[in-house]
Every structure is written in structure tokens, then in C-alpha cells.
Amino acid sequence: MKNYFFDFDGTLADSGQTGIMAIQAAFKSFSLDIPNAETIQYYMGIPIEISFKKMSEPHQFTSAEFDELLQSFRDFYQSYENQYLSLFDGIKEALIHLSENDKNLFVVSSKHSSSLIRNLDQLGILNFFKAVIGSDQVENYKPAPDGINALVDKYHLSPKDSIMIGDAIFDLQMGKAAGVHTCGVTWGAHDVVSLKSEQPDFLIDSPSKLMKLDK
């Protein structure tokens, strides 16, 4: 495998608690029913532009109100990230190994690119990646393959030598739609049963196994 596409939240970064706290705080500030952690975890992996509407049903927003809710979440998230956001153990070592073995590394995330780049930089891993793509840079969100397709086209990559790595079913669905290999990771938001149902090419339970996907 030559080209590695990583999801960010729940795959590279342990951001679950940060996301849950920020979502619940934003919903509370708008007097909405507060989603529980299990519901929030299910929707991790797709952009908040989609998940927030699903979690707030049947509430109807004006466009301006919804934009305010999204911004409220982003503000709360940024206020929590310095305290709670961290890399999963073993991720940096895996990225070092892959980079030293001349692999092309990318991030395809449902976060906005500005937040994604800020978080990658905060965690000290931005320099490992050839390029990153956020939800604001694609026409169709995960599980559509737009993010992977854009990188394949821009860098003239071979799908058969590429793999999408993520903790959510939406990551695996995106990878399959793009015609690349897929790898589910069990240390993030979605459980093993859900990941297995997508029939990924690989299913791993430790970041150290990212170094062995060729074997």
C-alpha cells in the first residue's frame, strides 16, 4: 500500500469527549433537547451540517439560526480542545514509520479544513501529511467519495495502492465508493459489529497494526 487516507476524529485523535461536550453545550445554549453521548457517537464521522439536523429533529431552524448553532459548537469545541484533545497512543509512532517508508499520507475529514489544520498542528502531526481535505472543500459529504477522489485526481494516485482508514462506517462506505481498500479501526466511535457489517478489507484494534497493512 502506497497511499493512506486517514479520518481524523476517532482515528488519529481521541476527540470523542471534546465533541460530546461541545455538542451538548451548544444544544443547551439554544434550549434544544440535549442528545446523549451514544447518539452523538453514532453521528461522529459525518459533518455537523448533517448530524445536527438529525439530532435536533423535529426542531426547524431558519438558515441564520442553524448557522449560529454550528458556530456555537465550533466555539465550544475550540474552548475544550486544548484540555481534552489528544492523539491515540501509538498514532505518532505509526505515522513516523509510514513516512520513513515513503508512504503518502493524507487526511480526509468531516471537520472544516481550518479546524482540521489547527488540530493537526496542535497535536504535532501536521507535517506528516501531504494534503488534508475538510468538509468545506467537497461538494458531497461522507460517505460520498469526493474527498478521496479529489486527492486521487490531484496527486495521480492509484486506487488499488490506496487505503481509507477510519473508525466510522461512513469512512468505510466512502472508501468503497472511491474504489480504494478500507480499514476499520476499533478504538473510535463505532463498535466492532457495525464496522464488520461494512466488510472492510482490514479491521485493526491497535495503531501499531497500521504499520502492517501491507502484510
CATH of the domain at 35: 1.10.150.240
Question: Which pLDDT score is estimated for 85?
Answer: 93
- Among the candidates 40, 65, 84, a domain finishes at 84
Grid coordinates of 58:
423535529
d(CA 140, CA 124): 29
Question: Which pLDDT score is estimated for 99?
Answer: 97
Question: Which pLDDT score is estimated for 31?
Answer: 95
Cβ neighbors of 107 (< 8 A, separation 6 or more) are 5, 6, 7, 8, 12, 116, 120, 129, 131, 132, 133
Q: How many domains does the chain have?
A: 2
For residue 48, what are the domain limits? Answer: 16-84
- Among the candidates 43, 69, 84, a domain finishes at 84
Question: Which pLDDT score is estimated for 47?
Answer: 87
Question: Which pLDDT score is estimated for 215?
Answer: 57
Is the entire prediction scored with pTM above 0.85? yes
Give the chain's residues under pLDDT 70: 215
**Does one domain contain both 102 and 207?**
yes
Which DSSP letter does residue 144 get? S
Q: Are 173 and 11 in contact (CB under 8 A)?
A: no
- Among the candidates 41, 56, 84, a domain finishes at 84
**Does one domain contain both 24 and 96?**
no
